[in-house]
């Protein structure tokens, strides 16, 4: 029996990971496609006149087996893949791409949808129902339903090619990340590194069978502290170049040709749909609406951020010269000298914070914050199946003890896991035939591992990441929508980061830090003088942080505002893009093109700006909590009811105004980053 094609007999209907085998996936997808095809045939051949329920709702509810199979397969392909899963993915792309195209290009189905849409003013739909109808109709139009047969066939091929290229881009990055190791054999080459970093490198070496040596990899918990603390400038250069040359090494994992093809295929598709470029096509249903608004917004931040970054660069150059150095600051030096200046100017060493941010401490702090805000509790469930022994499963309960959902957490890097951090769902919340289907969520991180007899001690940035991804999970867990298409995080890209980014504010708030940051050995709360130093240094290095992010956002927009297919060279295009905005050579974009997974293998094309767009929202929203109390239940209830529970059931700005009483202003963001 294929467990993906049967009713899950597990508690809360979570996937039976202990029963699912790789050989189950392809049959489950094929059966799921067959089932949904039959459901769509039933919609199309319904003798009754098309209406909201027999067409729009029926389509939204179709494809249950496909959702189940995809809900497991795609989540594990990102978090716990292997060669067999990668081969299955390559087989699935043409299958699922063709199936999706068959739905979106089904003329008889679209005719029924269009009939309902054109009669929408007479249907007495509520807000969520109207959103479902509007999104369904526009999804079909944007999916090519109005094209002639010749263009439809070409569109099918474009979509399949883009899916395959995206798959290959991500696979190349995983291979490049796993294939690189900086092996250190002489202890003197570890000069400057804290004991915790050295210990982690020794553990990594041991896993590679290199006992007595030290290994640094391209996973962030490994390379970032090396760049921060290593006094070996030549090794910093070697490691950082390995980071930013990912996918750009003229080998079998090179991503440049993939990028060129994807950009041109996206242009062709946009043109076919009647848009000037891919950015126009993507932004139409987002808050920003059009590329000009994105560029205007980003450049408003770019000018003061670049000015601040130049001042930071000058400070570092001055320190180099004060220490007797005669070289010019380079990108592989920035992390090192930023850390030295932080220590000199604010007497703050990142390593002093880690002992107060053990993984368990931060997790308990998160649970505490969410309980104070929303009354939620989290119970570890060791009886639930997991897909990897490192994964933890929690039952989430509301203040009255009722079941909310299940949250899986996967914390540490593995060769089977892609880099970064993300939140996703095995099952979305929805209501079908009157039954409230609860969500099953997953957050995946790549945090520093435990070393020796020490637990996992997180950096301050890792703690912020934990709170961030937890915010996404809350958006899914607290959803109270009827339809899958609008539930949970099914919102525009430039709105989806609001619930995640607002959570970072509690992580960093001095009052909250003192509540949860406790020494892993003594249990002592973080000292007030250390909290004061964290606050005092809060805007330090913000020029760098903002500039590297904005540079990547503008690079994304430059690729996707190209309006004609062009035979460009990726490195030259990127250099031209960065020269145009005046990026200083001491800083590189947060993501250079060949490892810019967000836009070439992640769904954020023409959308990487979304994080800072949403920061305008989150900074403004957090002001409401600062005005009324960080844990004010009335404010938290308003945020839960108007934002977290509503998903995409209404226009995002309407949802925001319902919470805040007004549209957001940019001033809190500028103030937070010291750019005003």
Would you name the residues annotated as active-site residues?
A: 469
Residues sharing a CB contact under 8 Å with residue 97, sequence separation 6 or more, in sequence order: 156, 159, 160, 163
Strands 403-410 and 440-444: parallel
Q: What angle do CA 531, 537, 538 make, to 5 degrees?
A: 85
H or E stretch including 409?
Answer: strand 403-410
CB-based contact 477:377 (threshold 8 Å): no
Q: How far apart are CA 292 and CA 653, in angstroms?
A: 19
Q: How far apart are CA 566 and CA 262, in angstroms?
A: 11
Angle between helices 220-229 and 195-207 (to 10 degrees): 140
Q: What angle do CA 495, 71, 560 make, to 5 degrees?
A: 45
DSSP state of 538: T
Q: How far apart are CA 611 and CA 414, in angstroms?
A: 26
Q: How far apart are CA 489 and CA 302, in angstroms?
A: 29
Copy the structure tokens of residue 240: 């950082």
Residue with tokens 């047969």: 149
Q: How many CB atoms lie within 10 A of CB 285?
A: 14
Q: How far apart are CA 501 and CA 618, in angstroms?
A: 6
CB-based contact 396:429 (threshold 8 Å): no
Taking Cα atoms as reference points, which of 206, 180, 199, 197 lies closest to residue 232? 197
- CB neighbour burial string for 607-639, b if at least 16 within 10 angstroms, e if fewer: bbbbbbbbbbbbbbbbbbbeeeebbbeebbebb
Q: How many CB atoms lie within 10 A of CB 57?
A: 18
CB-based contact 621:664 (threshold 8 Å): yes
Angle between helices 652-660 and 610-628 (to 10 degrees): 20
Residues sharing a CB contact under 8 Å with residue 449, sequence separation 6 or more, in sequence order: 200, 203, 221, 412, 413, 456
Q: How far apart are CA 146 and CA 223, in angstroms?
A: 49
List of long-range contacts for 106-112, beta carbons under 8 Å, 24+ apart:
106/40, 106/44, 107/145, 108/44, 109/40, 109/43, 109/44, 109/59, 109/140, 110/140, 110/145, 112/43, 112/44, 112/50, 112/55
Instruction: Give how far Cα 365 sits from Cα of 166, 507, 509, 607, Å.
Output: 37, 8, 12, 31
């Amino acid at each position: 029996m294929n467990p993906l094609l049967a009713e899950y007999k597990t508690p809360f209907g979570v996937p039976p990971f202990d029963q699912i085998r790789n050989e189950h996936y392809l049959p489950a997808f094929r059966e799921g496609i067959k089932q949904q095809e039959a459901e769509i045939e039933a919609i199309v051949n319904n003798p009754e006149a098309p209406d909201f329920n027999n067409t729009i709702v029926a389509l939204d509810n179709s494809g249950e087996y496909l959702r189940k199979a995809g809900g497991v397969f795609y989540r594990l392909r990102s978090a716990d893949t292997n060669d067999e899963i990668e081969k299955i993915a390559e087989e699935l792309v043409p299958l699922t791409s063709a199936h999706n195209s068959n739905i979106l290009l089904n003329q008889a189905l679209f005719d029924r949808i269009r009939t309902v849409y054109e009669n929408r003013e007479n249907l007495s739909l509520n807000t969520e129902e109207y959103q479902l109808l509007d999104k369904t109709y526009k999804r079909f139009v944007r999916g090519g339903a109005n094209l002639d047969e010749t263009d439809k066939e070409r569109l099918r091929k474009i979509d399949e090619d883009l899916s395959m290229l995206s798959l290959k881009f991500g696979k190349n990055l995983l291979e490049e990340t796993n294939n690189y190791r900086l092996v250190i054999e002489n202890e003197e080459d570890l000069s400057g590194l804290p004991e915790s970093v050295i210990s982690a490198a020794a553990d990594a070496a041991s896993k590679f069978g290199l006992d007595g040596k030290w290994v640094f990899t391209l996973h962030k918990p490994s390379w970032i502290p090396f760049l921060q603390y290593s006094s070996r400038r030549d090794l910093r250069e070697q490691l950082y170049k390995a980071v930013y040359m990912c996918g750009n090494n003229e080998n079998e994992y090179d991503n440049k040709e993939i990028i060129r093809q994807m950009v041109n295929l996206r242009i062709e598709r946009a043109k076919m749909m009647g848009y000037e470029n891919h950015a126009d096509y993507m932004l139409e249903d987002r808050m920003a609406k059009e590329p000009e608004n994105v560029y205007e917004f980003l450049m408003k931040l770019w000018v003061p951020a670049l000015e601040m970054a130049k001042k930071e660069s000058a400070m570092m150059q001055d320190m180099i010269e004060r220490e007797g150095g005669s070289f010019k600051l380079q990108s592989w030096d920035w992390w090192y000298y930023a850390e030295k200046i932080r220590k000199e100017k604010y007497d703050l060493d990142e390593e002093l914070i880690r002992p107060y941010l053990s993984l368990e401490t931060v997790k308990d702090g998160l649970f505490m914050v969410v309980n104070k805000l929303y009354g939620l509790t989290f119970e570890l469930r060791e009886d639930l199946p997991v897909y990897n022994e490192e994964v933890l499963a929690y039952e989430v309960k509301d203040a009255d003890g009722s079941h909310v959902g299940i949250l899986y957490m996967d914390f540490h890097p593995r060769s089977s896991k892609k880099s970064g951090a993300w939140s996703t769902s095995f099952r979305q919340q929805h209501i079908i035939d009157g039954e409230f289907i609860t969500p099953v969520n997953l957050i995946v991180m790549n945090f520093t591992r435990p070393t020796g007899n020490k637990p996992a001690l997180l950096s301050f940035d890792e703690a912020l990441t934990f709170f961030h991804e937890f915010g996404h999970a809350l958006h899914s867990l607290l959803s109270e929508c009827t339809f899958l298409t609008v539930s949970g995080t099914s919102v525009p890209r430039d709105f989806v980061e609001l619930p995640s980014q607002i959570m970072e504010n509690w992580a960093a708030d001095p009052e909250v830090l003192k509540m949860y940051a406790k020494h892993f050995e003594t249990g002592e709360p973080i000292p007030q003088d250390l909290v004061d130093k964290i606050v005092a240094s809060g805007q330090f290095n913000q020029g760098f942080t903002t500039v590297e992010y904005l540079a990547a956002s503008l690079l994304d927009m430059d690729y996707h505002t190209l309006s004609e297919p062009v035979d460009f060279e990726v490195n030259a295009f990127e250099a031209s893009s960065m020269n145009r905005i005046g990026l200083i050579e001491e800083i590189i974009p947060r993501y250079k093109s060949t490892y810019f997974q967000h836009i070439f293998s992640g769904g954020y094309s023409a959308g990487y700006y979304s994080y800072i767009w949403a920061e305008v929202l989150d900074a403004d929203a957090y002001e409401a909590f600062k005005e009324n109390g960080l844990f004010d239940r009335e404010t938290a209830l308003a945020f839960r009811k108007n934002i977290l529970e509503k998903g995409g059931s209404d226009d995002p700005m309407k949802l925001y105004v319902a919470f805040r009483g007004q549209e957001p202003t940019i001033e809190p963001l500028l103030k937070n980053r010291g750019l005003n």
